Amino acid sequence: MASELPPGITHLQPLVEYSAGGSEREWTPFTKIKQYTNAFIIDKQEGKILLGYKKRGIGAGYFNGFGGKVEPGETPAEAASRELQEEAGIDAPLRECGTLFFHVPGLENAFDIHIFVADEYSGMITETEEMRPQWFSTSAMPPTTQAPGEPALLPIQYDHMWADDIHWFPLLLANKKFAGRADFADDGKTLMKWWFGSEDS
């Protein structure tokens, strides 16, 4: 169990350290916290996860889950469902599985990102102005069995994602509850320091 969690992590249950690293410097101070969401569909039977290529805004050019700001009067769960519908055209029985506290120096606010997951969805997955949805294999190896005529799914493209994601995606994929913090450099891309833990080791 971590003796002292990074500032910003408010997870109620004890956490076991999973991945930590980066520079020795202190966690960057922040003044405001904004609530965000990020939602993933994971089809365990077929071994695939739905991500979207972000076409604009924060994290443009990266693959990510679907999400955005929690609007005034909304719960994070309501915001996550709304954003999933707005960005991918689908509905899903989302459950909150983790939190990512994220900070870039120079930005007034830190991001408290509520991570949601579902293993099924309804509706038709649709490309939107913000996101181009794409399934990826959850296995490091490309799947060997494919439906006839279907292209093999790529493994998750960590080198085209936020630099912290590789440190907590394994917890998401293993269905573990987790929380963590990632501090970035001024460029908003280079990961300077991180800590992630899960409820079970």
Ligand X SMILES: Nc1nc2c([nH]c(=O)n2[C@H]2C[C@H](O)[C@@H](COP(=O)(O)OP(=O)(O)OP(=O)(O)O)O2)c(=O)[nH]1
- Between CA 31 and CA 37, with CA 32 as vertex, the angle to 5 degrees is 145
Beta carbon nearer to ligand X, 15 or 100: 100
- The rounded distance, in Å, linking the Cα atoms of 100 and 116 is 11
User: Candidates 1-9, 21-29, 57-65, 91-99 — which segment interacts with ligand X by CB under 6 A?
Assistant: 57-65
Residue from 5, 15, 18, 36 touching ligand X (CB under 6 A): that is 36
Residue from 20, 33, 58, 125 touching ligand X (CB under 6 A): that is 58
Beta carbon nearer to ligand X, 68 or 143: 68
Residue type for position 144: T
- By CB under 6 A, is residue 182 in contact with ligand X? yes
Residue from 6, 28, 38, 138 touching ligand X (CB under 6 A): that is 38
- By CB under 6 A, is residue 77 in contact with ligand X? no
- By CB under 6 A, is residue 179 in contact with ligand X? no
Residue from 7, 47, 68, 155 touching ligand X (CB under 6 A): that is 68
- By CB under 6 A, is residue 162 in contact with ligand X? yes
Cβ contact 170:156 at 8 Å = no
Residue from 101, 111, 121, 195 touching ligand X (CB under 6 A): that is 111
- By CB under 6 A, is residue 183 in contact with ligand X? no
The DSSP bridge pattern shows strands 191-198 and 178-184 to be antiparallel
- The rounded distance, in Å, linking the Cα atoms of 96 and 55 is 25
- By CB under 6 A, is residue 113 in contact with ligand X? yes
- Could you write out the DSSP letters of every residue in 92-144? ---EEEEEEEEE-TT-SEEEEEEEEEES--BS-----SSEEEEEEESSSSPPS
Instruction: Give the per-residue SS3 of 11-79.
Output: CCCCCEEEEEEECCCCCCCCCEEEEEEEEEEEECCCCEEEEEEECCCCCCCCEECECCECCCCCCHHHH
Residue from 1, 12, 29, 57 touching ligand X (CB under 6 A): that is 57
The residue at minimum Cβ distance from ligand X is: 68
Point out which residues bind ligand X (CB under 6 A): 36-38, 57-59, 64, 67-69, 100, 102, 111, 113, 162, 164-165, 182
